[in-house]
Amino acid sequence: MTDLDATIDRLVRQIPDWPEPGVTFRDITPLLADAEALAAVVDGLVDLAEGFGPVDAVLGIEARGFIFGPAIALRIGAGFVPVRKPGKLPSASHSTSYDLEYGSASLHMHLDAIVSGSRVLVVDDILATGGTMAAATDLVTQAGGVVAGNLVLIEISELGGAERLAPTGCAALRTY
C-alpha cells in the first residue's frame, strides 16, 4: 500500500445502505476538504492521465467528475467537456440513457462539445458497475470522438465496471 492509498483509505468515508439498502456510498468530501490530500490525488490522476497519450478533451461526468476533470485538463493541456444530467444544458445536446446499480438515468453533452476525431479522456470519481462511464463513452462516440481512456479516483473491482468498458478499460488511483 502506498502513502496515497493510505490517504484515500483514511479520507474517503464509506456510508452503508445509502442511497438505498445494499449500496455503500463512497463519500469523497473529507478528501476534498484536505488541501494536501487533494493535491496529491490530482497529481496521481494527472500521472495516470499522461499514460493515455495526448488527448484533446477531458470529459467530466456530473457532478464529481467536474471536480477532477478541469484540474486534469489544465495540467495535460486539454479542454474540458462537462457531461450533465437532463435539463442542465442550454443548447442542443447528444443524450443517452443507462442503468445504475440502483435505478436508471440519462446523460447529455452539447452537440458541439467534441470535434469529430478528437481523443477524449473520460473522468469520474468512482467506477462501480461501469454504467455511467459506458454512457459517457456512448456520448463521445455519438459526437465522432474516440475514448482514449477512462480514469477514476476509485474502482470497486468486484462490481465489474472495468470489464464493461473493454477494450479501453479504466485506470484507477485506488482499487478495492
User: Is 64 a known active-site residue?
Assistant: yes
Please check whether residue 30 lies inside any domain of the structure: no
Q: Which of 2-11, 12-21, 100-109, 157-166 has the lowest mean pLDDT?
A: 100-109
Instruction: Give me the catalytic one of 64, 84, 119, 174.
Output: 64
Mean pLDDT along residues 127-141: 96
What is the CATH number for 60? 3.40.50.2020
Q: How far is CA 132 from CA 3, 15, 44, 96, 98, in A?
A: 29, 20, 22, 10, 7
Please check whether residue 76 lies inside any domain of the structure: yes
pLDDT at 1 over 90: no
Domain tally for the chain?
1
Determine the Cα angle at 142 with ends 137 and 146, to 5°. Answer: 55
The average confidence (pLDDT) of the chain is: 96
Mean pLDDT along residues 3-12: 98
Please check whether residue 33 lies inside any domain of the structure: no
Top-confidence residue, 100 or 84: 84
Reply yes or no: is the peptide bond before residue 86 cis, omega within 30 of 0.
no
Please check whether residue 67 lies inside any domain of the structure: yes
Q: How confident is the model at residue 101 (pLDDT cuts 50, 70, 90)?
A: low
Please check whether residue 48 lies inside any domain of the structure: no
CA distance 140 to 96: 11
The predicted model scores a pTM of 0.95
Top-confidence residue, 171 or 103: 171
Instruction: Give me the catalytic one of 10, 20, 50, 101.
Output: 101
Which pLDDT does position 118 carry in this prediction? 98
Which pLDDT does position 158 carry in this prediction? 94
Which pLDDT does position 20 carry in this prediction? 87
pLDDT at 4 over 90: yes
* Neighbour tally for 130: CB within 10 Å: 22
Phi and psi dihedrals of 87, rounded to 5?
80, 10
CA distance 11 to 159: 22
User: Is 174 a known active-site residue?
Assistant: no
27-81: pLDDT as tens digits: 999 999 999 999 999 999 999 999 999 999 999 999 999 999 999 999 999 999 9
Please check whether residue 47 lies inside any domain of the structure: no
Please check whether residue 166 lies inside any domain of the structure: yes
* Neighbour tally for 69: CB within 10 Å: 27
Please check whether residue 70 lies inside any domain of the structure: yes
Q: Which domain holds residue 81?
A: 53-175
Which pLDDT does position 102 carry in this prediction? 67
